[in-house]
Structure 1
Amino acid sequence: MAVQESVLIFLAIFSPTVLAYSGIKGAYWPSWEADALSPASIPTSYFTHLFYAFVEVNNATYELSITQPDDKWMGNFTATLHAKSPSPKVILSIGGANTGTMFSDTVSSHKRRSAFINSTIVVARKYGFDGLDLDWEFPNSILDMSNLATFFTAWRFAVDKEARVSGKPRILLSAAVYYSSEMFSTSPPLSYPGHVIKKYVDFVSPMCFDFHGTWDPLKTGSPAPLYDNYSNLSTSYGISSWLKSGVPSDKVVMGLPTYGRTWELVNSSDHNIGSPALGAGSPPVLTYDQIVDFNLENNATVVYDEATVSTYSYSGKNWTGYDNVESVINKVKFAKDQGLGGYFFWALGDDKNWVLSAAASKAWDS
């Protein structure tokens, strides 16, 4: 079914305001893009939780490594957003892509865990964060998962104790996790410690995107399908696995992408999901902002795919899979129907005039 992008964007912006539905409406702020997207420019009416991404870990001390740009921006980030109305919870995210070995080492002993945990609390209080978020991509052994369970337990005990001693509100704890509670890329598959997460973590955020991309170069694919009738690579499968893991539904916050992935078609007349491709397009990744502009400039055909609840566009041999307003709205409705704790976007700054953020917020609040 062809979709008129401009109509959906208009509806997302100008549909009536409705009463809020409690839950998390989150997004990550890439701090390296601070000059292009200042904290002051973020419209907090669309968000309840905003994540500062990322700080890293010192591989000698196992404490947080605060760079000069971090020191400059973290206090600005928290103070600016806390001063806004409405005022969101502001969370410091630690890690990011390719952090497997670093976090594996960090949680491997009591001494290292303690150094890390104490450092996170000190930094959170110093810069005014309401919470801490672990983005470990990804645990890759049974021992890693066992140590992660021990770490979550110790982290929660530490922030509980600090809150009692300081008299301040407890620091929230969250984690960005694999889209599924089981990781299939390892042998045998690994399972996150759902029973520990249930007790000690405030919420987890499955990264429900990057199911298809440059690693699947010879056929097009939806980067973040809600459903896939042919595999387990879908948001619905991942969320279902998390709910079966013992983590309460209201502690699961579903990930949404604000970017798409591109392919070069073999034949411009064969342009469906799963059509033959010569390889990744150039560039292989486009932000939603860039996608909308490209579609307009190239008179691309935009298609909302009901089977996968995703969107794609094509012009000549250029093919892009992504989420637009319609697919985002339907994914958020799915999250509500499942009783989830909310949703989050990766990442701020990739939206087109905040239309995806506005659409998701209104869908969640309806």
Structure 2
Amino acid sequence: MVSFCYLLLAAVSWQIDALEFYAYFVGENLPTTRNFSYFDDIFSAGVTELVFVGFTVSADTTITRTFSNENELLLARQAADAHATRVSFVLQSIPFINGGPTAFSKFYASANNMVEKYKFDGINFDWEFPRNVDEWNKYRDLMKGTKENVKKSGRNVDVSVAIGNSYALYKSVGLCGVVDKCLWMGYDNCGDPRGHSNIHWVKNMVNEWKNVEGLPSAKFALGVPLYGENGAGTQINYFQLVEMGADPKGNGSFKGYFFDSQPILQEKIDLCNNESLGGLMAWQLGSDLSPEDTRSLIYGIKQKLKPGL
């Protein structure tokens, strides 16, 4: 009986440890500069890939850093190395999508240069507006080519893509088959009287992915918000809600705003594990309190991903 309980505990622990956790970081306009300790705390909370927002790609495929604090990139890299985790960057538009093989090859070269400069482990694609199926197919091919042609120290980089609710389209073009993870934006259910990221809608969308479209659970990372939103679509930082009096352990509703409180986030992590999903994603860390603050959402996530630490 003791041996059985041990094996069961080990299996549960492995499942939790295996959950990938992608977290976006928007560093601009934050009240304080983030130091090594901040990034160390982020990775200690269970983040496996920190995705930096603040890079653009031009029509001629040149990738440029617009993120102003280069030192934060370097500190994040040091912290990631200490935890054997990853740092990546996101691209939110692809202006050369119709440029053909020559443009794609130039992009791979530009991406390799950026990966080499900052020792990135991956690239996240968050272009949400291809205009037609042809552009979706090209977008898929670009990510496939990125996976094959962009390398860090001889190893293919991690490639992920942010997705919405068009599951049938993604399935038809084979979008998620060419990437490591599809990061579902589970916080864009605007206008729902139960909130933009309510658990009922999230469960329905997970069911649609798995059981309606038959898409692979292991490729699906469930996205959660680190901010609040009201019925009109106005957003507010989570740390501001707490300053106003919102309860971190409450029901996720405060003065007309909906947000994922610590218990709601923990319920979503249970959903990820129970449905054998491939990961978790959070948008975005700058909206949260500091990770060592016991009221922060990242702290609440850590209690579930890294219990006892």
Normalised to the residue count of structure 2, the TM-score between the two structures is 0.80
Shift of 1:35: 6.4
1:174 and 2:160 aligned: yes
In the TM superposition, residue 327 of structure 1 has moved relative to its aligned partner by 0.9
Do structure 1's residue 24 and structure 2's residue 20 form an aligned pair? yes
Kindly report the root-mean-square deviation, in angstroms, between the aligned alpha carbons of the 2 structures.
2.9
Instruction: Select the residue among 278, 281, 291 that pairs with 1:344.
Output: 281
Match of 1:253 among 221, 224, 228: 221
1:82 to 80, 105, 108: 80
2:215 is aligned with 1:224: no
Gaps of at least 5 residues in structure 1 are 1-17, 183-189, 228-233, 264-278, 305-310
Q: Secondary structure at the match of 1:32?
A: coil
TM-score, with length taken from structure 1: 0.69
| Residue in structure 2 matched with residue 146 of structure 1 by the alignment | 137
Map of 2:32 onto structure 1: 36
Aligned length: 285
Q: Is the 8 A contact 2:183 2:220 kept in 1?
A: yes
More helix by share: 2
- Partners of 2:131 and 2:78 lie apart in 1 by 38
Alignment partner of 1:255: what SS?
Answer: strand
CA distance in 2 between partners of 1:51 and 1:334 (Å): 23
Matching of residues 63-142 of structure 1 within 5 Å:
63-67=62-66, 69=68, 72-73=70-71, 75-84=73-82, 86-95=83-92, 99=93, 103=94, 105-106=96-97, 108-142=99-133
Rounded to whole Å, the distance in 1 between the matches of 2:81 and 2:136 is 39
C-alpha displacement of 1:110: 1.4
Q: Specify the structure having the higher radius of gyration (Cα).
A: 1
Mapping 1:226-245, distance limit 5 Å: 226-227=199-200, 234-243=201-210, 245=213
Structure 2 stretches lacking a partner, 5+ long = 1-12
- Provide, for residues 36-67 of structure 1, a one-character-per-residue CA deviation record: whole Å limited to 9, x for no partner: 241522312111211111311112x1221234
Q: For the Cα contact (< 8 Å) 1:195–1:245, is it kept in 2?
A: no
Paired residue for 1:9? none
Q: Assess if the C-alpha contact under 8 Å between 1:145 and 1:193 holds in 2.
A: no
Give the partner amino acid of 1:291.
L
Aligned to 1:156: 147
Q: CA deviation at 1:238?
A: 3.0
Identity of aligned pairs, percent? 19
Task: Provide the C-alpha distance between the structure 1 equivalents of 2:73 and 2:85, rounded to a whole number of angstroms.
Answer: 15
Letter in 2 for 1:76: L
